């Protein structure tokens, strides 16, 4: 199997999902812009519209899809799986994070008809913050099995969604990139949680 075939298929999947899937209660938002400060240790990214900032280790490729306001971080080739995506949504009831994830997965089923839930909604201990998460599988381009992890958290009147897309059976995995991103994320509307006694989900422990 040629790498070019994978890249083309994954790029198509990224575009399709970004353009098509958003929870029915999500609201239209103003375009966002990035404030970026780079150093030899990495890059600090602030998105004022989302009320969050991130620190990205040196060497990580990233891209803002200005059409859909998805912020991508690529573990391998730019524009292809595996990647981590961050986006903030204005939602009818931002406190209903579980409902947001349920709606998101239901709408994904319209585009991925073989979608199966691997892990139901449960807490995910991200050290600094406590997310809710779920994990699903589906195929793209006929025979590539995608593992898609969604982690969400309320941030003031918004919901921040961290999406992780991989194809583990073919070696396209993100490694510890999601943990690096989440660990150094600063959410202005969220107090740091005491997660020492939390029952964490099994996400990202393969």
pLDDT digits (tens, 9 = 90+) for 55-110: 988 889 999 987 788 999 999 988 899 999 999 999 889 999 999 999 999 999 99
What is the residue extent of each domain of the chain?
A: 3-187
Question: What is the rounded distance in angstroms from the CA atom of residue 95 to the CA atom of residue 108?
Answer: 21
Joined together, the tokens standing for residue 25 give 């209660």
Model pLDDT, residue 57: 87
Q: Checking DSSP bridges between strand 26-27 and strand 83-91, what pairing results, if any? A: antiparallel
Cα 28 from Cα 131, distance rounded (Å):
23
* Residue 154: φ, ψ to 5°: -75, 135
Whether residue 160 contacts residue 86, with contact meaning beta carbons closer than 8 Å, is answered with yes
Once rounded to an integer, what is the mean pLDDT over residues 107-130? Answer: 92
Q: What percent of the chain has pLDDT over 70?
A: 79
What pLDDT does residue 11 have?
Answer: 46
- For the domain bounded by 3-187, which CATH number is listed? 3.40.1000.10
> Which carries the bigger pLDDT value, residue 26 or residue 90?
90
**What pLDDT shows up at residue 169?**
95
- In Å, what is the CA distance from 146 to each residue of 2, 111, 140, 162? 17, 13, 7, 16
Question: Model-level pTM?
Answer: 0.83
Query: Do residues 10 and 80 touch, judged by C-beta distance below 8 A?
Result: yes
Least-confidence region, from 6-10, 168-172, 182-186: 6-10
| Alpha-carbon span 129 to 66, nearest angstrom | 27
Q: Provide the pLDDT confidence category of residue 33 given band limits of 50, 70 and 90.
A: confident
């Amino acid at each position: 199997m040629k790498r070019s075939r994978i890249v083309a298929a994954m790029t198509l999947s990224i575009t399709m999902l970004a353009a098509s899937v958003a929870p029915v209660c999500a609201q239209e938002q103003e375009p966002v812009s990035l404030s970026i400060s780079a150093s030899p240790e990495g890059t600090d990214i602030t998105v004022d519209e989302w009320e969050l900032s991130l620190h990205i280790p040196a060497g990580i490729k990233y891209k803002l899809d200005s059409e859909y306001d998805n912020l991508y971080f690529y573990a391998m080739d730019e524009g292809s799986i595996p990647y981590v995506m961050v986006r903030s949504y204005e939602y009818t009831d931002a406190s209903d994070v579980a409902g947001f994830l349920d709606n998101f997965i239901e709408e994904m089923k319209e585009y991925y008809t073989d979608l199966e839930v691997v892990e139901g909604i449960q807490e995910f201990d991200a050290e600094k913050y406590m997310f809710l998460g779920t994990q699903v599988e589906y195929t793209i381009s006929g025979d590539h099995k995608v593992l898609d992890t969604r982690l969400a958290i309320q941030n003031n009147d918004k919901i921040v969604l961290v999406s992780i897309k991989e194809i583990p059976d073919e070696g396209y995995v993100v490694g510890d990139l999601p943990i690096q991103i989440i660990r150094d994320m600063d959410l202005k509307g969220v107090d740091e949680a005491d997660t020492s006694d939390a029952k964490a989900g099994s996400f990202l422990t393969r």
